[in-house]
Amino acid sequence: MKVDETRLLADLEHLGKIGLGPEGGITRRALSREDAAARAYVADRMRAAGLEVRHDEVGNLRGRRKGRDGAAWDSAVPVVMTGSHLDSVPSGGKLDGPLGVVGAVCAIESLNAAGVTTKRPLEVIVFVGEEGSRFRRGTIGSAAVSGHVSVADVLELVDPDGAVYKDALATYGDEGAAIPARAAAGSIHAFVELHVEQGGVLEAAALPIGAVTTIAGLVQRAVTFLGDANHAGATPMNLRHDAFLAAAEWALGIERGAREIGGGVVGTVGKLTVEPGGKNIIPGRVDAICDLRAPTPVLLSALDDYVVSSLHGIGEKRGVELEQQLLQRVEPGPMHELAIVAVQRAAAEAGLGHMRMPSGAIHDALHMAEIAPSSMIFVPSIGGKSHCPTEATDPRHLAQGVAVLAHTLAILANDP
């Protein structure tokens, strides 16, 4: 099966201009004008590829290709799904998400061009809000499809500016009735997601394809440190209640805890606002968010417990009050052999070197694995860089990823 590499790169380039900032990064928050523009482009590409396009109750965009029974949306045969997301982190890269979306459309076009029909229908899905950069949780669209969260709870999510999810959905301007978001039991035969690796493992191994076996879990907590804003010159060191120093001590503790626990756990404090934010004022308030990842539930709890209990001592020692709130906990999860083996077989048939590997990043495939055999196809990230403007992959590897996706879809949609 041949992949139209020129088309693929043109699609990625087009999407890479939507939400492009002066620093070269992409900012497309979920359900924003930029997100809507990217989605409209993809909806047109889906139709051009012959897909029947729908949208669901939480705003996932979905395009189906009919199976051999001649039916797409009204087929009684379980569907094989693929897709990813179009929202981004603040000032992110051009590939995290979009590759798995336009790559899926290009894979369908490869199947069309090669005259490959399938027993089962194929569906390309664009999940809403994977990154969690706007609403308090991420992987929103896939959590709604799997039933991990209810549609009602999704629609009531509120962003920090007070905008309610169900109102923000109006930016998409979808016409016609929405289909149910939650998948009916047994309606999905398998799910596979194409994505950049976002780490340096494939590059170091000089292999073009990874077949993902597990996805690490995640805890995010918001913590507010309430100290005393005061004069930076006139207040002696022993009379201060510096909210930033409390937050800094906590962040350093997270680093220490993650190193002590080991086993692949990682912890980050990537969002921090210091108020009132004057260079000659002792910080009175800090709002911080920590992001904790681990490959097993036990390790995730170990790091989370460490991080929460470290707060108490710091508050007392520094005379700073603390408030904390769990934003999100997503359990780590295994992918499924049916789908992992299909990816490996597809890579082998395409003559491409491959390896089985875990994912340290969260993906929509984690929720899809709750309801259907799932895996992911990783392609190498140059320098292991992601969630930053320099995220990049060799175009040859991008096209190879799409070729493996097309083969994988054909295998999963035609296997007994």
Q: Under the rule (CB under 6 A), what is the footprint of ligand GLV?
A: 131, 361-362
Considering CB distances under 5 to 8 angstroms, the limit depending on partner class, which of Mn ion, ligand GLV, none binds residue 391?
A: none
Rounded Cα distance, 267 and 70, in Å: 49
The site partner of 362 among ligand GLV, Mn ion, none (C-beta below 5 to 8 Å per kind) is ligand GLV
Residue 109 contact, options Mn ion, ligand GLV, none, Cβ 5-8 Å cut-off depending on partner type = none
CA distance 8 to 86: 15
Question: Nearest distance from residue 147's CB to ligand GLV, in Å?
Answer: 21
Q: Report residue 108 as tokens.
A: 């369908």
Q: What minimum distance in Å lies between the beta carbon of 141 and Mn ion?
A: 12
Stretch touching Mn ion by CB under 5 A, among 93-101, 163-171, 288-296, 393-401: 93-101
Q: How far is the CB of 131 from ligand GLV (least distance, A)?
A: 6
What Å distances lie between residue 314 and 35, 76, 107, 308, 317, CA to CA?
A: 40, 58, 53, 11, 5
Alpha-carbon Rg for the chain in angstroms: 22
CA distance 351 to 371: 31
The distance of closest approach from Cβ of residue 165 to Mn ion in the complex, given in angstroms and rounded to an integer, is: 20
131 vs 197, beta carbon nearer ligand GLV: 131
| Residue number, nearest CB to Mn ion | 96
Taking the chain, what is the end-to-end CA distance rounded to the nearest angstrom?
21
DSSP-derived 3-state class of residue 277: coil
Q: Do 68 and 111 meet the contact criterion of CB atoms below 8 Å apart? A: no
Contact of residue 193 among Mn ion, ligand GLV, none (CB under 5-8 Å per partner type):
none
Q: Which stretch binds Mn ion (CB under 5 A): 90-98, 104-112, 201-209, 236-244?
A: 90-98
97 belongs to the binding site for Mn ion (CB under 5 A):
yes
Q: Which amino acid is at 277?
A: G
For residue 360, the minimal CB distance to ligand GLV (Å) is: 8
**Separation between Cα atoms, residue 21 and residue 92, nearest integer Å:** 10
- Per CB under 5 A, 197 contacts Mn ion: no
Residue with tokens 């990625």: 12
By the rule CB under 5 A, 96 interacts with Mn ion: yes
Q: C-alpha angle 360/361/364, rounded to 5°?
A: 130
Which of 12/219 has CB closer to ligand GLV?
Answer: 219
Residue 59 sits in the site that holds Mn ion (CB under 5 A) = no
228 vs 370 by CB, closer to Mn ion: 370
- Tokens of residue 250, six digits: 């906590």
97 binds, among Mn ion, ligand GLV, none (CB under 5 to 8 A by kind): Mn ion
Residues that bind Mn ion (CB under 5 A): 96-97
